[in-house]
Structure 1
Amino acid sequence: MSKTPKNQDRLGAVLIQVEDDLRQLRCSLEQITVSDRGNTLDVKALDSAIRKTESRIRKHAEDYLKTVSQQPLLLPTIEDLPKKAVLIPKWKPVLESLPNVCPKREDLPRASPGEKHKPAVTKQLLCKPAQSNNRALMRQIFKISLPIVYKKRTDTNLPVQIPAYISKYPFTIINGQMNPMVTDFCVFKQSFNLCWGSVLDALEALVKLLREFAVPLAKVSGERLVEFAHGWDDGWRKAPPVTSLLSVLENWEEVLGLVSRPGQRYKGEGGTVAAATRIQSCWRRYLARTSYLHHCRRKWAAETIAVSWWLHNQLRGVRKSLQAQRFRQLLNFRSRAQHLAANWKHIQSSKRTIIHIPSLGFSESLRQNLRGFDILQNIQLSRLCDIRDENVEVIYVSPRHLGDDILHYYSSLLKYERVTEGADNRTTEASSCSRRFVILTPEAVDYFPTHSMCLSTLLKYSPHTLKRIHNLIQGKQAYIVGGVAHVDDLAVADELGVPILAPEPAVSQLYSTKSGGRRIFVGAEVEVPPGQGDIYSLNQLHGTLAELMTQNIDVHRWLFKMDSEHGGRGTAYCDTCHLRCYNWALQEYHRYGPEKWKREWIQVKIYLDEIPGWLARYARPAKTSCYPTWASFLKTFLRQGGVVEAYPPSESVTCLTVDLLLEPGGGVAMLSCGEQLHDSCDLESLGSTVPQTSVHPDSLNSICMRVGQTCLQRLIVGYISMDLVTFVNPNTMEQKVWAIDLDLKYSDQLAMTQMLLMMTGGTLNCLTGCLEVPMPIREKCHEHKTATKTPVENRFAVLGSHLFHLNLSMLYHNVFLKMCKAHGIGYNVKSKEGTVFALYDSIERCNMGMMTVSEDLRGALVTFARNLSVIHQEISASKMQGGTNFKELIKEIEKVLQQIAQNKMRAQVASSCVCLL
């Protein structure tokens, strides 16, 4: 065993005492205030010097402790008392009966009197082995572990009562002040003298905390304080956590509740200063936060303005690029239109390719509201029949994919018999036209299935289809026949490098409205119904209607037509019989006469007062599925603009549709003319009878020529459709013809007429009003053959292009055709009579077209109505009728048949009277 210096205990005590004195001196310096005149005491410099001295002494003390700890020491021997030996029995208690706590350790026996020369630290630690901090200190300094001795227990299974933890070195701090002369504190300080430096730092932090929060009483556990001091990294500027610091108190819950109380900090030492500091910091934080938020808002605004300006510039650049591109396309369109006009006769007499794009370039809102928009664009699939001219090849662009059943159907349908006349003999040869037509579907149909885009837009975004069309027409004369004009028509034509047989989109949009068509008719000096166009305000509507009703008191119904609607969707009506002043007005009219009545201004005022309420109560939209109320109709009517027009003052009114071709070379040709078949509202056409028989052909031709020439003067070319109404004036008993509507497009009636001419091989002579069909010659050949003319017979046809039945979707097309064949519904190629169907859709199969041909009009109507009745009975059950317009069309045909019978009866009576005379 090495020798130990005798004065080592004394030296350690001196070092610790000096460190303690320096700490107290430093604490007292903090409370010194010097206010001598002209003298300044540098307390900070003195405090710094004290801290350096204290640090050096601490370092020497630590070096001394390391030297002491490295010396080999012997533990004190424990007296061998055999009589008092403690036996530890091998006993295994029941675990469920013992609480989950650590057993209390028993104090070790004291050292023998001969061991007094051992260091004081050894004596202190060995006499208190139960404390965790002393045991840890023994492990740190002497590198040894003390044995743990447990108390003796009985063989009973009763639970052991573990007493609550009791501190051996407690002391109290009252009102944040600690009396160093109190016995408890002195014992605590003497017991932990060697580690007093770190303990004192923790104690000062605790006292400061209690003083700042004005804690009246704090009971400190000395052992917890020492344990906390060892675990705390007491940097000179690092304050301990409040929760951890308060854990050394025995009444920590009470103190923590007091410290956590709002405003408690400002009741203790330096509370006023702390409150002022707090207020100032909050105010500064508020100012800084407000300034920061203001800066953030300005920064956000600046970024938003910058991004908006950047987007604006980008959009402006794109807009300019699109405008330049469209202007270039328009110039190319005009250039090709001039070439088409200059070479039209040559093109019509030579081989050519017609690109049919049945696009409906309506406004986006109208396209979104039309049910089955893609089917509506495919109704004119009969344009394929243009191949009846041997010089024509057809490229048909379909708005939806067609199944093999429809392709096979039209391939079979377009095989027709062509009758030729020779000088010596007559021959009949069959010609197949399947190689002269192609049906293409743009690939963009699959990418935009729900956007209701017009067909031209879909084709514009289909480069593969455009490339295929370009390859098909390469080196050939070709032009495009569209539908309702759209700006994307120019893009497609420019991509393909072909002209369009149509006016410019801007011209088409201007004159295809109801008001625009009325301007064309007025310019052509064609009689139009009393009315007024270009109405955009409610006051204008009421004032115009009052004047019209005053000038035309014999009109019983007034129509309101939107400018940009399709079919009968945008039409409403109101009857004058609901006006309270109407009967009085009739009496006054007959009293004063027509001329004087029209000059009376008071009549307009009477109508004007009653019209608003009359319209609000009695006006009705024609299609309530589109506009359920007059209010909703009126809102759209005033936004789009429209026309107020008189309904013909007659119980018998016939509507006609005439299709014209305005040739680029300046010619006007009538292609089709038919009388309309309406639904229940009498404002929407479902079909027509061809040729028309209501208007004299010369009068009809005169009207068509005047309208055609007026359109050509306004740079309108291509296919147009004109609606007329004819009736007998009840006052003069003269027939009147009014022009009521003009559509600058290829009509559905014209498409069905092309199928009619294809199947019959005939010619529709609109100048004579006859459908002339050549019949085959079946005479035997003789030795001397003479040239004879091919016999020609007249035929009548009923064309229905908008037939709808929901139950048709249950049958595939081949099953439907077999069912019709079983009921004798078919077409006889030899006699040029019968029924032909037009199929549009392979998926839903609810829409179709039908054409019946017969020797007279009555036979064609009867066949058409019978076919509808048979089909309806076959596909419908008593409890599942399905939505359809078959019944309405059958009722309309019955009315027409009654009218034909009445006309025939009148003709017979008139002829009898003539014979009698």
Structure 2
Amino acid sequence: MNRTDPTAPSPDLVEEDARGGVHNLVTRGFLPPSVDVTPAFTHGTSVIQNSRVKIYDRASQPVKSMPYTNPSGFNMASLKFDMSTTPATSTPSPVAAVVSGGDVSKMVVTPIDISFDAPLSSHPPVEQPKGGATGGDDTNGGDSSTIHNLRRNVEKIRGYNELLDTYSLHQFIIRKGKTLSDTPEFISFQRTTEDLWGSVSTSIQELEAMLTSYSVPLAYVDGQKLMKIAAMDATTRGTTELLSCILNMDEVSSLMRRPGQRYKGSQGPDLAVVLIQSVWRMFLTKKRLKNHHGNEDAAVIQRIYRSYRCFSQLQQRLKLVREADLRIWDAQMQRFRANWDTMKMQRRVVVHVPSFASDDRTRLKMDNFSIRQNLQMARMCAIADPNVDIIYISPFELSPDIQRYQVRLLQLGGITDPQTRIRMLHPENVDRFPEHFSLTTLLLYSPHCLKKIKRFVRGKNAYIVTGNVGPEDKRLAIALQIPLLGMDPDKALLYGTRSGGKRIFMAADVNIPMGAHDIYDEDELIQSLSKLIAADVDQNEWLVKIDADQSDTGIASINVQQMQSVAKVRAEKRDMKHMAAEYFQQPDVRDAVLRSIFNELTESYFAANITPCFPDVREARIIGYASIDYMSFADPKTLVGGGRPRQRLWAMQVVPGLTNTAVSFVMFAFLSCSQFNPITGKCHLQVAAPPPAATSATVAPITQAQKAVETILSARPPNGAVVCGPERAYMVLDYIYHPNMATLHFSTFFNTCRLNGVSFDLQRAIGAAFILADSLTAGVMGLMCIGENDKEAFRIARQAVELIGDQVGVQALPDSLSGERLGNFPYLLAIVKRTFDLTRHIVRQVDDISFRDDDASVATYTVAIPFDFHERLSHMSAKTGKNAVCEVVQGEKTSHTQLYHVQLPSPVLKGADGSIKVTAYFTRILTPLPAAIKQSEDQLVVFHAPHVLPSPYATVTQTTRIKLPSTHIERHSTVDPVSVKGSVLTYGPYTAVPGGAPPSSANELITVHFQHNEPFLTMTSLVKEVDVSMWGRVSTEEVVDVEHTGAALAGGVSRFEYSEHDAVSASFRSFVAVLPKHAVNVYYRDQIGNITTSALSDLSNGHTELVLEARYPLFGGWKTQYYLGYSEPTASVLVHANDRFRLEGHLSTCVEHAAVDDLTLKVILPQGATNVQVTAPWLHVEITHTTRRQSFLDAGRPVVILKKTNVVPAHNDVPFTVSFDYPGQYYVYREPALVVGACFGLFVMYMALTRLWNQARQSQTKQD
């Protein structure tokens, strides 16, 4: 039954309601309250049965019956006999004589027909004798007869009522809306339905109200039908059901259907008024709604039209803006091309933007995208030209170490003062946009950087040099109003594809590999590939490349060796070759072959003159940098007479823009001061410097390095002579990524390289030079090695790479763990002993790892934490086998784990054994099962973990031990081998565990379901305030919200059961707080007030132990709040050294075994503290800016706020430090001096006013 709305339909009874029990069914109304539920508990009829108590109406209370003292049923003592003679004219009724004693007028006639066996009137009147004796005998006989007849009539009356209740139709009348309740039928109906009279009475009242509203004069009601309808639910009972109880239904229904009949009742005028008003209001509302809908439709039409008009205007405006920008672009590019001959000889500014313009798919798949864009820092070598100033735009802010290194590199090339000619800028909004945005796009969204560029190039000749040209580069040139040294983005997109490059090569008549281009769908690909295979059947493998793929990631290979059709064609060709072999044995054919070989050898075979195509390209308005990819190979088809095969050269692709290879070649020429010989194809050092050319006053002299750079782009050597000095070759690794390089210090790394011979010799122009695109913390660098020949360059590169491996350690991460391999280094073998301590609700994991690397030294060890555990990770620390503390640095994420790098204090030498101990704490990782328990039940929890430690290294053996708080284990996984000894579970040892393999199935996960009655003490919120005072006290107060995060309590709480099961219950009432040394003024209270049930005692180590007891025990899901405060001497906490004060304190709470979800630490420093510095040696600590707190006599005290989530007591092992400057030791007396001075000033003022007042009174007295 719906308690809120009784008229609403009752819900359906489902199986879950039935399982709730009888009490639930009665409470929710599914069972009536009058139902006897005893059989449901006794499984049958019981000895004592319950029934509904009858509640009678007060008005129907019967008159108290007289005690029966006579068989007649009446009290004969109250009867009076009339001894007078009965008159002859009347024959009084014996009943009347007996009852009323002769007063007939006062009798109440009962409408019941009473008949006697023999009427009294039939007996002749008896005349009383005068003596009276005889008459007295006759009178006694008559009274006896009368009483007997009366008793018989009473029995008939009782029988009549029973017959009426049993056989009556119980039809009663409702006249003019009122039930005639005095009729015998209605009285009998009321007696019959006394058990259901409440609902029957309600139904009768509904009938009366309905008939009254329609002014029905008379209605006959069938009581039997009314009883059935009354037993129905009130929500399902309607007018139709009520009308079905009326016998004269035709008359009543015709009367009710008569128009206006319902308004003839007593409330008819009111109902008519309400109807008229409702109809009129409906009409008005309908009219307003129609107008509202019309207005809405009109508003929608107007809004669509306005949107369309605004969109059209915007399109028109954008079209005009683009046309204007295009005109500006064409005009400035035309001026740039026309003035290039003079501009390249004048002073100019070159804006280098090494952007990578490509589609989002390519940029999203590139790791370290921003660093890859910065790999062309060698562009700064262009300042070898004294007329060139450079603005270099980097994708991020370059660290001072990188800037100093780049300046030093330029100074090695002969540039005396490079700082004055180079501006290194970066977009200021780089951190506000996604990492895969190109550098040009970020620069367009950084107005301050654009203003700096405009200010620097104002009034100077300038142009932009980008990387891969894209549409955003054109927008940048228009925004800066600087021309772009590069081709139009539309043409760059056309020529930058593989198909566009092939069209250029075909037009230039350059050799290209056999293939097809300009393929746009799958059918065309299959047709072209079929033609190519048929044309060259002997080719086994074919490459399929994506047309627009600047990063060379869309390449696939197809091997046709297994195709049956290809095998058949090859067999036929072999048959033809046998016939051709006989043909070549003829003498005339053999002579012709010899003549052709001779003629071919007399031609200029080793050199070919290629006509320059630059004039034709310039006429097509294609300017700027471009690179062409060639492939050279020995063609076995060109074997003649068993000699060596001829070299073939194929042009593969045109790359518009300045590529990394071209920039590395410029850096090589800059550092070695070598010249490229186009005849030999090699670089040679200059034998002697040519005489300096005459320079004008406005043109700066050309340096030796600039001549080397200019030689790179020259078609022939200067002065028509070829200078062949010592040969130089170089090898470049522009992108080396190793995550452990983040642990290297800048100066230490280069000193180590210098000591190991990895450096650059300026005199011989031989050695290794590092290309730093970012700081070493990014783990990325480049390497250029210059040697006398290619083998020497390769040897230097190998030596440098080996040195890097020795410095950063060896690390090899399989693809299954990281998604890609981070470096090409040997594996690291390790032995792992893992221990889970589950005796508390804070889970502690201890990993004892022993490792050895036979290929290189180890400086960093990487630990992998699964994502499920990493979400609950609170604290991690590491120590070596000699208890030396190691620094733990969070690394990158993989597909399954989060990596942490443990930096060893000193590298473990190659082949030596090393060991570390990694300790991690996790909170809320134990799940109660069941989630709710009763007070006296034990708490059970579930723990899940991988059966082996996820490690990026291959391990020799792994063993996992799980310490439980009790020996009660419900169940545990059986990943063999497994053993149980007491409360310790041991899994393993597992041998030859591959590195980086995550659990592949649920069977490889450990699941332990065990008893855990230890308290789950969790502080959901902790606000800790440390008030530092220079007057001798440092006060600390903790405001804590405590919650029991174990299994929730089901049912009520019994104090008796709690006292009995206190030893095994999962609840807790008290917890221990270990206060610092010298703690005084300790107080502990909750929201109500002080709690005096706590105990304070001193420990042997000098600390103070405080046992805190709550007002009530905390069961699962229960919460409480308390305040804990104490003070410490300032001298024991605050240290004064080097004119600075340093405060050291603990981050977490002083309560043992408590986990903190959300912690806020406020350090209130004394007034006057400046230069505040905070050191918090934990991961992910949020340090907000200092605020100020005003209080009495304080103008504002600085407040340092530290916030951290998921805090455990292990965070107290390393204290936080707050250092600040304080004006002096006498500054503390400033506030008392102000108070004393203010009081003295008030005293002086009071004295002065008092004297003036006395003098005024004396003057007034004298005048009077």
Name the TM tier (shorter chain). 0.5 to 0.7
Do the aligned partners of 2:812 and 2:822 also contact (CA within 8 Å) in 1? no
Once the two structures are TM-superposed, the CA of residue 541 in structure 1 deviates from its matched residue by 0.8
Amino acid at match of 1:850: L
Do the aligned partners of 2:674 and 2:728 also contact (CA within 8 Å) in 1? no
Question: Residue in 1 aligned with 2:667?
Answer: 755
Cα deviations across residues 11-39 of structure 1 (Å, max 9, x unaligned)? Answer: xxxxxxxxxxxxxxxxxxxxxxxxxxxxx
Question: Residue in 1 aligned with 2:371?
Answer: 375
**1:729 matched to 2:635:** yes
Matches within 5 A, 1:466-481: 466-481=450-465
2 CA distance for matches of 1:795 and 1:818?
26
Matches within 5 A, 1:888-903: none
Question: Residue in 1 aligned with 2:420?
Answer: 435
Once the two structures are TM-superposed, the CA of residue 515 in structure 1 deviates from its matched residue by 0.9
Amino acid at match of 1:839: L
2 CA distance for matches of 1:815 and 1:274?
107
Deviates more, 1:439-448 or 1:294-303: 294-303
Given candidates 547, 557, 578, the residue that maps to 2:541 is 557
**1:871 matched to 2:804:** yes
SS of corresponding position for 2:633: strand
TM-score by length of 1: 0.52
Once the two structures are TM-superposed, the CA of residue 491 in structure 1 deviates from its matched residue by 2.4
2 CA distance for matches of 1:594 and 1:520?
41
Once the two structures are TM-superposed, the CA of residue 589 in structure 1 deviates from its matched residue by 2.4
Identity, in percent, stands at 25
SS of corresponding position for 2:407: helix
Question: Residue in 2 aligned with 1:63?
Answer: none
Once the two structures are TM-superposed, the CA of residue 526 in structure 1 deviates from its matched residue by 0.7
Once the two structures are TM-superposed, the CA of residue 377 in structure 1 deviates from its matched residue by 1.5
Matches within 5 A, 1:337-348: 337-348=333-344
**1:856 matched to 2:798:** no
1 CA distance for matches of 2:361 and 2:424?
29
Amino acid at match of 1:438: R
TM-score by length of 2: 0.39
Cα deviations across residues 856-915 of structure 1 (Å, max 9, x unaligned)? Answer: 111001111222223123312377799445569xxxxxxxxxxxxxxxxxxxxxxxxxxx
Question: Residue in 2 aligned with 1:396?
Answer: 392
Once the two structures are TM-superposed, the CA of residue 468 in structure 1 deviates from its matched residue by 0.8
1 CA distance for matches of 2:531 and 2:181?
116
**1:354 matched to 2:350:** yes
Question: Residue in 2 aligned with 1:745?
Answer: 657
**1:323 matched to 2:307:** no
Given candidates 750, 760, 773, the residue that maps to 2:685 is 773
Amino acid at match of 2:663: A
SS of corresponding position for 2:341: helix
2 CA distance for matches of 1:825 and 1:735?
36
Amino acid at match of 1:360: F
Deviates more, 1:533-542 or 1:756-765: 756-765
SS of corresponding position for 1:414: helix
2 CA distance for matches of 1:413 and 1:468?
25
Matches within 5 A, 1:262-301: 262-263=238-239, 264=241, 267=244
Do the aligned partners of 1:456 and 1:488 also contact (CA within 8 Å) in 2? yes
Closer, same or farther in 2 for the Cα pair 1:208/1:869, shift >3 Å? Answer: same
Deviates more, 1:300-309 or 1:441-450: 300-309
Deviates more, 1:797-806 or 1:205-214: 205-214
1 CA distance for matches of 2:478 and 2:683?
39
Do the aligned partners of 2:684 and 2:724 also contact (CA within 8 Å) in 1? no
Do the aligned partners of 1:800 and 1:850 also contact (CA within 8 Å) in 2? yes
Matches within 5 A, 1:342-741: 342-416=338-412, 418=414, 431-450=416-435, 452-592=436-576, 698-699=607-608, 702=610, 705-706=612-613, 708=614, 711-712=617-618, 714-733=620-639, 734-741=646-653
2 CA distance for matches of 1:466 and 1:828?
40
SS of corresponding position for 1:742: strand
Do the aligned partners of 2:746 and 2:776 also contact (CA within 8 Å) in 1? no
SS of corresponding position for 2:516: strand
Do the aligned partners of 1:838 and 1:848 also contact (CA within 8 Å) in 2? yes
SS of corresponding position for 1:753: helix
SS of corresponding position for 1:799: strand
User: Which runs of 5 or more structure 1 residues have no equivalent in the other structure?
Assistant: 1-103, 105-171, 185-202, 220-250, 419-429, 597-694, 778-788, 889-917
2 CA distance for matches of 1:864 and 1:713?
43
Closer, same or farther in 2 for the Cα pair 1:384/1:835, shift >3 Å? Answer: same
Deviates more, 1:757-766 or 1:825-834: 757-766
1 CA distance for matches of 2:805 and 2:288?
77
Matches within 5 A, 1:231-310: 261-263=237-239, 264=241, 267=244, 307-310=303-306
Cα deviations across residues 186-245 of structure 1 (Å, max 9, x unaligned)? Answer: xxxxxxxxxxxxxxxxx99994336569998899xxxxxxxxxxxxxxxxxxxxxxxxxx
2 CA distance for matches of 1:775 and 1:435?
32
Once the two structures are TM-superposed, the CA of residue 332 in structure 1 deviates from its matched residue by 1.9
2 CA distance for matches of 1:209 and 1:258?
16
Question: Residue in 2 aligned with 1:96?
Answer: none
Do the aligned partners of 2:441 and 2:472 also contact (CA within 8 Å) in 1? yes
Higher relative contact order, structure no. (Cα contacts within 8 Å, ≥ 6 residues apart) = 1
Once the two structures are TM-superposed, the CA of residue 849 in structure 1 deviates from its matched residue by 1.1
Closer, same or farther in 2 for the Cα pair 1:861/1:291, shift >3 Å? Answer: farther
Once the two structures are TM-superposed, the CA of residue 763 in structure 1 deviates from its matched residue by 3.0
Do the aligned partners of 1:176 and 1:211 also contact (CA within 8 Å) in 2? no
Amino acid at match of 2:210: L
Once the two structures are TM-superposed, the CA of residue 363 in structure 1 deviates from its matched residue by 2.0
Amino acid at match of 2:520: Y
Amino acid at match of 1:388: A
Matches within 5 A, 1:811-826: 811-826=744-759
2 CA distance for matches of 1:467 and 1:479?
16
Do the aligned partners of 2:727 and 2:788 also contact (CA within 8 Å) in 1? yes
Closer, same or farther in 2 for the Cα pair 1:879/1:804, shift >3 Å? Answer: closer
2 CA distance for matches of 1:535 and 1:441?
41
Do the aligned partners of 1:330 and 1:490 also contact (CA within 8 Å) in 2? no
2 CA distance for matches of 1:514 and 1:547?
20
1 CA distance for matches of 2:258 and 2:371?
81
Once the two structures are TM-superposed, the CA of residue 386 in structure 1 deviates from its matched residue by 0.8
Q: CA RMSD in A?
A: 4.7
Do the aligned partners of 2:362 and 2:551 also contact (CA within 8 Å) in 1? no
Structure holding more helix per residue: 1
Matches within 5 A, 1:25-36: none
1 CA distance for matches of 2:579 and 2:504?
29
2 CA distance for matches of 1:806 and 1:696?
50
Given candidates 822, 831, 841, the residue that maps to 2:764 is 831
Amino acid at match of 2:354: P
Amino acid at match of 2:675: T
1 CA distance for matches of 2:810 and 2:630?
39
2 CA distance for matches of 1:885 and 1:702?
42
Do the aligned partners of 1:382 and 1:754 also contact (CA within 8 Å) in 2? yes
SS of corresponding position for 2:356: coil
Once the two structures are TM-superposed, the CA of residue 495 in structure 1 deviates from its matched residue by 2.4
1 CA distance for matches of 2:257 and 2:429?
73
Closer, same or farther in 2 for the Cα pair 1:373/1:295, shift >3 Å? Answer: farther
Amino acid at match of 1:470: K
Matches within 5 A, 1:48-67: none
SS of corresponding position for 2:509: coil
SS of corresponding position for 1:333: helix
Once the two structures are TM-superposed, the CA of residue 309 in structure 1 deviates from its matched residue by 4.7
1 CA distance for matches of 2:489 and 2:518?
20
Closer, same or farther in 2 for the Cα pair 1:791/1:522, shift >3 Å? Answer: closer
Do the aligned partners of 1:265 and 1:271 also contact (CA within 8 Å) in 2? no
